[in-house]
Amino acid sequence: MSVRQKKQEMLAAMHRARALEPSSFVPNPLLDTLIKTMHLKNDAELCRVLEVQPPIISKIRHRKLNVGATILLRMHEKSNIPIRELKELTNASMH
**CATH number of the structural domain 25-94:** 1.10.260.40
Chain centre to alpha carbon of residue 78: 17
Band the pLDDT of 12: cuts 50, 70, 90: confident
* Residue 88: C-alpha distances to residues 5, 28, 81, 91 (Å): 40, 12, 11, 5
The string of pLDDT tens digits covering residues 47-85 is: 999 999 999 999 999 888 888 889 999 999 999 999 999
Which residue, among 63, 33, 61, has the nearest Cα to 52 in the 3D structure? 61
Position 28 pLDDT exceeds 60: yes
Locate the domains of the chain by residue range: 25-94
